[in-house]
Amino acid sequence: MAELLIPFLLALTPIIWLVIALIGLKQPAWLASLEAMLVAVVAAMTYWHMTPINVVTAALEGFLFALWPIVIVIIAAVFTYNLCVSTGAMETIKAMLTSVSSDKRILTVLIAWCFGNFMEGMAGFGTAVAIPASMLVALEIDPITAILVCLIANGVPTMFGSVGIPTTTLATQTGLDVLELGYTQALQVLPYAIACPVLMVMALGGGPKALKGILPIPLVAGITFALPQVLVAKLVGAELADVAGAVLSLVVTFIVAIRFSSRPVPEEYKIVLKKHMNVDVQGAVIAWAPFILIFLVLLCTAKVVAPIYNFLAPFKTTVNVYAGDPNATLTFTWINTPGVLILICGIVGGLAQGAYLDQIFAVLYLTVVQMSKTIFTMLGILGCAKIMTYSGMIGSIAAFFVTSLGGLYPLVAPLLGAIGTFVTGSGTSSEVLFGNVQLSAAQTLGVNPMWLVASNSLGISAGKMLSPQNIAIGCAAVDLQGKDGELMGKIAPYAFGFIILMMIEVYVGTLLGF
C-alpha cells in the first residue's frame, strides 16, 4: 500500500498548497496558482523524474491553452458587459429587469440561474459566472454574494456546457453511447438541478428565511430546467441539453415572476431605481443587442447547424507543444470559438448602441487591464494542471483510489471528477483525465459502466463550484481582486455538501444495479 500512498500524497501537494495559500494565507489567486505550479514542478522533477524540457513544454502547453480559448472568452464576456455599461445600455437592461420584479431574489434566479445556464450551454469557459455576476452587481447586489450565487448555479450545467463538449468528449473517450450516457448524467444531476435555485436564494438572503413568499419561483426554475435537460439528453443529444433547459426555465420562471410582481417585496430584498425609465421595443432591442447577437451567433455556429459549422471548422491550427509525447496536440480554433464570436458580437452590439470606435477600444483596453491578474491565475492553474497530468501525478491519484478501495470505489468515483475540474477548471479536461479510469474500474468491479462513467460528470458539478479558475473569473468580472480565498471559503460548504451527497448517490445506485 505504501507504494501507492506515497505518490498519492505527493500528487496532492499542489492542490493542498493552493487551498492553504488561498484560504489559510489569504494570498491573491494569481500568486497562489503560480506557487502551486512551482510545487508541481518540484514534485514532478524529483519523484516522477520528469525532465526539465518536458516540464517546460508541459507548462507552456498549459499557458497556451489558458490564453486560447479560456482567457480570450473571459475578456470577451467582461468586455461586452463593460461596453454596455459605458454606452448606458445596462441602465436600460436594469430598468427592464426590475419591471419584471423589484425583488433581488427573483432577479437572481432569472439572471444567475436561467440566463447563466444558457451562457454555460452555449459558450462555457467562465461566461456563466462573469456576465451574470456583473449584471447582479449592477442591480446593487453585494459583489461577494453575486459571485457566490453564480458559482452555485454554474455547477449543474457544466457537464453539458459549451454545446455538450464535455459529454461528447467522454463518450468518445470511453466508447459509450452518447445518448444513453447523457441521459444517465442528466438523471444523476436532476435532484441537484432542482435544489440549486433554492440554495441560491438562501445564499442571497442568509438562510431559509429568504424563501418566504417566493419558494415556488426557485422550485419552478429548477424543475423546468432539469426535466427538459433529461428529455433532450435522451432524445436529441448532449449539445442542446443545457440550452433547451435554460430557455424553458427562463420563459416559465419569467411568467411566474410576473404573477408574483403584485406582492409586496420585503425592504431587505427590494431594488429601488434611482430614476424611472420608459423603455420602448426599439430601445429594448438596442440595449440587449450584444446578448441577442451572442445567442444567435453561438447557436448558428454550433454543430447542430452543420453547414456553417463545417465551413468554419477548417480555420484552426494543431501543434505539438509537449516534448514528451509527439501525439499530444493542442488545437487553436481561430474563428469558431466562443471568445472570438462573443468579442465580435460585443463590438457590433456596441456600435448598435451608439458607441464610437475609440470608445470601444478604450473599454477593451481597460477590460484587459482589469483582467490582468486573472490572466496570471489562468496561466498558473493550467500550467500546474498540465504538469500534473503529463508527469503522472493525476494518474497516481486515480491509481490509489481504484486499487485501495476495491468494491468501495464507486463511493469516490464522483470525487475524481470533482478533483479533475478543481485542478483544471474544465469539465472536459476532467472527462479526459478520468473517463477511462472510471470505465476500467466499472469493468473490474463488474458494475454498470454507464452509471460509473456518468458519475465522473456528476462530480464535475461540485468541482466546478470550487474551481479556483472559476472563482478568479468571478472576482475579476466585478473588479473584486484579492477576495478569492474568502469566496472559496463561502462556496466550500455547498461544493462539499454536493460531493458527499453525490458519493452516496453513486454508491447506492451501484448497489441497486443502476
Angle between helices 161-174 and 427-445 (to 10 degrees): 30
Find the DSSP H helices in 353-407. 357-370, 372-391, 393-405
Strand-pair partners of 270: 103
Query: Do 468 and 424 form a contact (C-beta atoms < 8 A)?
Result: no
Q: What is the 3-state secondary structure (H, E, C) of 276-314?
A: CCCCCHHHHHHHCHHHHHHHHHHHHCCCCCHHHHHHHCC
pLDDT of residue 73: 81
Helix (H, G, I), strand (E, B) or coil at 320: strand
Q: Give the residue ranges of the chain where pLDDT is below 50.
A: none
Would you state the pLDDT for residue 1? Answer: 66
For 498, other C-beta atoms within 10 Å of its C-beta total 27
Tell which residue, 61, 152, 138, has the closest CA to residue 107. 138
pLDDT at 182: 94
**Cβ-contact 391, 47 below 8 angstroms:** no
Strands (E), 257-395: 316-320, 329-333
What confidence score (pLDDT) does residue 26 get? 86
3-state secondary structure string, 446-481? Answer: CCCHHHHHHHHHHHHHHHHHHCHHHHHHHHHHCCCC
Annotate 91-117 with DSSP letters as a single string. HHHHHHHHHH--BHHHHHIIIIIIIHH
What is the amino acid identity at position 41?
V
Q: What is the pLDDT of residue 10?
A: 95
DSSP conformation letters of 144-182 = HHHHHHHHHHHHGGGGGHHHHHHHHHHHHHHT--HHHHH
What residue spans define the domains of the chain? 1-49+373-514, 70-101+272-370, 103-127+140-260
Nearest in space to 436 (alpha carbons), one of 402, 386, 393 = 402
3-state secondary structure of 513: coil
pLDDT at 275: 60
Tell me if the pTM is above 0.85: yes
For the record, the C-alpha cell of 479 comes out as 473588479
If phi > 0 it is left, if psi is from -120 to 50 it is alpha, else beta; for residue 481 that is: beta
Answer yes or no: are the C-beta atoms of 322 and 386 closer than 8 Å.
yes
Q: What is the pLDDT of residue 200?
A: 97
Residue 470 dihedral angles phi and psi, to the nearest 5°: -65, -40
Distances (CA, A) of 338 to 302, 333, 470: 10, 10, 17
Question: Residue 310, exposed/middle/buried by CB under 10 A (0-12, 13-18, 19+)?
Answer: exposed
**In this predicted model, what pLDDT tens digit does every residue of 162-216 receive, in sequence order?**
878 889 888 887 889 989 999 999 999 999 999 999 999 999 998 999 999 999 9
Neighbours of 182 (CB within 10 A): 31
| CA proximity to 10, closest of 499, 406, 392 | 392
- 166 Cβ contact partners less than 8 Å away, ≥ 6 residues apart: 158, 159, 160, 427, 428, 430, 431, 457, 460
Give the H/E segment covering residue 246.
Answer: helix 241-260
CA 128 – CA 81 distance, rounded (Å): 12
Q: Are 119 and 227 in contact (CB under 8 A)?
A: no
Q: How many residues does the chain have?
A: 514
